[in-house]
């Protein structure tokens, strides 16, 4: 049934061609009869048949003849402009429409001419002139549908002309005068956008509130409305609300809207500023689909931003795919090495360590003297270290240290030294690395910690005096409080438990042996021997064995000596407690503490009037990690205590 329609179209086309043929070839004899009228009629025929180029030529020819005969001039001038308009000669058409308006200001075509003058000026990019012409239609022909359309166009052109105040004024007039028009929603959004740009936030909020209550045939309107509400909230520093509106914009997607690209770019910037990398990924994907639909190739910058956010969101597979797309575009050398480094990070993130290290080693070759080539060795070292492949890690770190200008070399050297100290217990090698660090980087952030580790290595090598010397340096150098506290603890430990005095012990034993047996009771000899083992040789277990023998001595110690013997025995247990606590032997520490407390309490219960009661009470309090109330109670119970100053200092620290 389509054939009759097809043939009718063919006949119509042939008739038009025939008309053109007849008038072209017969125009000369016709002109000879009545030249002016014939040219005009021929132009009209071409015009009706949409042969605008031929019609334009005849109208212009007619006007040249009409220098002597002015009838029919308005139509010719208007149609010349219209032909130029239909032929997309916007600049010429604009000039011709304006000439028509100037010559025939009261012609019945004047409104259409003014409107088309605006249309053609807009097409040339002269938005100021276009806005003026459109506004002229509105102000002169208020009440007509064309005037209503012209007002909207006047506002749009003023906006494009960056005349924000004028655009706001015209959009506002339209929004108030035509609230139920099908495009009033779009007008409200344009008005709100300009008000936000002008920082008139309160007014913009009212416009959006009114727009929200009106229906719109545009399915994209809800998403667009959410976008403008989002940027208003963002500009007012209400970021949580802005996040909600941006999410609404995404969820209400019903196709691409005029502000789509700008809106989604703004959304991505907002998410990136909030470091919401995972939330940004579907936004990138939707924006990419927009570019695909528009046949726009994804730019390197867009792909790189998408890949970076994927990597930061730990979507390593997606990130690597995007990075490789960038590599296919043959980027510059600097970008190529950056991308390869990021790919290695993604491979490491997926725990494909072998492939990551291979990528890094290749990068170190192609960018041997560059920033990322250097960083590749550092990253490879970290990966080896994470897999406990310490020799390979140290090798990679040393490659990094060889690179001139590499940052944070002190940190890397510190890690090498700590690896020798903690992973291999090679304290001599660690000492050399720590000393090298302090020599090369005396102002390093790691210098205090390196000094602390240096002291520990000396202690492990039993060079206790050198260890104490480095710990004491920390106390004088203004190190961090935690290091100072640890250094003080280590100094006490070494002095109390590690540094022995064999010479003093030998002299004391010699003097003891020279005393005749009959002039020194067994219990007193044993008491002095236990003290030698505890004070000079730090052999606390041996001292306790002797105290056990002392309890069975014959004759038994007199009652007057028991407070002193009990106190010294308790002190040995207290020392064992401190040593076990330092060595992290919790079971031994708890046992020694319990025994010390029992003996100190025995002194208080049995020998409360002896001079050792004050000492016992103080030690019990200190073993219990005294608080404010226990310090105050001690001072109240023992107002004359020799430990009063120390207790007051402890109390002051609590108040601080």
- Between residues 492 and 308, the one the model is more confident about: 308
CA distance 586 to 589: 5
Helix-helix angle 300-312:333-349, to 10 degrees = 30
pLDDT, average across residues 166-170: 97
Helices 353-366 and 333-349: angle between axes, nearest 10 degrees: 160
Predicted confidence at residue 630, as pLDDT, reads 87
Q: What is the pLDDT of residues 4-25, one digit of tens each?
A: 443 344 444 444 444 444 444 4
Give the residue among 85, 91, 150 at the shortest CA–CA distance from 126.
91
State how far the Cα of 626 lies from the Cα of 620, in Å rounded to an integer.
Answer: 9
Residue 159, pLDDT above cutoff 70:
yes
Q: Which residues of 351-360 are buried (b: 16+ CB within 10 A; e: fewer)?
A: ebbeebbebb
Per-residue pLDDT at 64: 87
Residue 497 pLDDT greater than 90, yes or no: no
Instruction: Give dist(CA 22, CA 42) in Å, integer.
Output: 10
Query: Cβ distance 500 to 523 under 8 Å?
Result: no
For the chain, the first-to-last Cα distance in angstroms comes to 102
**Over the stretch 603-655, which tens digit does the pLDDT of each residue have?**
999 988 898 988 999 998 888 888 888 888 888 888 888 888 888 888 887 77
- List of residues 6+ apart from 176 with CB closer than 8 A: none
The C-alpha atoms of residue 648 and residue 349 are separated, in whole angstroms, by 55
Per residue in 265-292, pLDDT tens? 999 999 999 999 999 999 999 999 999 9
pLDDT band for position 72 (cuts 50, 70, 90)? low
What lies within 8 Å, CB to CB, of 90 at 6+ separation is 120, 121, 123, 124
How confident is the model at residue 20, as a pLDDT?
45
Residue 585 DSSP label: -
User: Contact 304/334 with Cβ under 8 angstroms?
Assistant: no
| pLDDT over 50 (residue 162) | yes
Dihedral angle computed from the Cα positions of residues 255, 259, 261 and 263, in that order, rounded to the nearest 10 degrees? -100
Per-residue pLDDT tens over the stretch 169-227 = 999 999 999 988 888 999 999 999 999 999 999 999 999 999 988 777 889 999 999 99
- Asked if residues 36 and 66 have their Cβ atoms less than 8 Å apart, the reply is yes
CA 587, chain centre distance (Å) = 47
Average pLDDT over residues 346-369: 95
- What is the band of 579 on the pLDDT scale with cuts at 50, 70, 90? confident
Under 8 Å between Cβ of 405 and 399: no
Average pLDDT value for residue range 532-559: 87
pLDDT of 143 reads: 87
User: What is the per-residue pLDDT for 1?
Assistant: 39
Tell me the C-alpha distance between 638 and 648, whole Å: 12
Comparing C-alpha atoms, which of 243, 250, 202 is closest to residue 222?
250
What pTM does this model have? 0.69
Say if residue 432's pLDDT is above 90: yes
């Amino acid at each position: 049934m389509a054939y009759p329609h097809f043939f009718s179209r063919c006949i119509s086309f042939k008739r038009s061609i025939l008309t053109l043929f007849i008038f072209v070839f017969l125009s000369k004899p016709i002109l000879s009869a009545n030249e002016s009228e014939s040219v005009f009629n021929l132009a009209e025929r071409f015009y009706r048949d949409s042969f605008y180029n031929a019609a334009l030529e005849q109208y212009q020819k007619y006007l040249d003849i009409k220098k002597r005969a002015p009838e029919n001039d308005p139509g010719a001038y208007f149609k010349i402009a219209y032909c130029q308009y239909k032929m997309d000669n916007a600049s010429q058409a604009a000039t011709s429409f304006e000439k028509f308006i100037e010559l025939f200001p009261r012609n019945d075509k004047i409104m259409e001419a003014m409107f088309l003058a605006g249309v053609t000026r807009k097409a040339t990019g002269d938005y100021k002139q276009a806005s003026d012409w459109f506004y002229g239609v509105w102000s002169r022909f208020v009440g007509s549908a064309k005037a209503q359309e012209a007002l909207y166009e006047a506002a749009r052109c003023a906006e494009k002309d960056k005349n924000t105040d004028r655009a706001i004024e015209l959009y506002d007039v339209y929004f108030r005068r035509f609230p139920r028009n099908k495009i009033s929603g779009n007008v409200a959004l344009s008005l709100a956008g300009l008000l936000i740009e002008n920082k008139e936030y309160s007014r913009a909020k009212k416009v959006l509130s009114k727009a929200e209550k009106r229906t719109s045939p545009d399915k994209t309107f809800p998403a667009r409305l959410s976008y403008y509400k989002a940027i208003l909230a963002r500009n007012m520093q209400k970021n949580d609300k802005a996040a909600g509106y941006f999410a609404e914009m995404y969820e209400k997607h019903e196709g691409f809207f005029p502000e789509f690209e700008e809106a989604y770019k703004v959304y991505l910037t907002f998410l990136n500023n909030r470091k919401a990398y995972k939330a940004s990924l579907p936004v990138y994907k939707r924006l990419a689909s927009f570019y695909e639909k528009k046949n726009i190739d994804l730019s390197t910058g867009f792909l790189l931003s998408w890949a970076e956010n994927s990597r930061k969101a730990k979507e390593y597979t997606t990130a690597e795919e995007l990075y490789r797309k960038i590599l296919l575009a043959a980027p510059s050398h600097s970008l190529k090495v950056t991308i390869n480094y990021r790919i290695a990070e993604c491979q490491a993130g997926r725990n494909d360590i072998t492939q990551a290290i291979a990528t890094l080693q290749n990068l170190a070759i192609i960018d041997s003297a560059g920033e990322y080539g250097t960083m590749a060795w550092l990253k490879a070292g970290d990966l080896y270290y994470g897999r406990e492949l310490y020799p390979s890690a140290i090798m990679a770190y040393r490659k990094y240290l060889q690179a001139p200008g590499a940052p944070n070399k002190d940190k890397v050297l510190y890690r090498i030294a700590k690896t020798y100290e903690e992973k291999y217990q090679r304290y001599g090698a660690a000492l050399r690395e720590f000393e090298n660090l302090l020599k090369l980087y005396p102002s390093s952030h790691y210098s205090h910690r390196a000094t602390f580790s240096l002291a520990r290595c000396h202690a492990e090598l039993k060079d206790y005096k050198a260890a104490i010397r480095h710990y004491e340096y920390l106390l004088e150098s203004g190190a961090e409080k935690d290091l100072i506290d640890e250094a003080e603890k280590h100094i006490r430990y070494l002095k109390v438990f590690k540094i022995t005095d064999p010479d003093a012990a030998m002299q004391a034993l010699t003097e003891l042996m020279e005393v005749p047996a009959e002039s020194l009771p067994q219990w007193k000899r044993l008491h002095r021997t236990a003290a030698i083992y505890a004070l000079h040789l730090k052999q606390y277990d041996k001292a306790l064995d002797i105290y056990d023998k002392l309890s069975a001595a014959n004759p038994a110690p007199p009652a007057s000596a028991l407070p002193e013997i009990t106190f010294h025995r308790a002190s040995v247990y207290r020392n064992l407690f401190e040593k076990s606590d330092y060595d992290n032997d919790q079971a031994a520490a708890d046992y020694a503490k319990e025994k010390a407390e029992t003996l100190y309490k025995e002194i208080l219960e049995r020998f409360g009037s002896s001079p050792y009661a004050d000492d016992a009470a103080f030690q019990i309090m200190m073993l219990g990690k005294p608080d404010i109330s226990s310090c105050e109670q001690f001072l109240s119970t023992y107002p004359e205590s020799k430990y009063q100053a120390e207790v007051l200092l402890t109390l002051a620290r609590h108040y601080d």
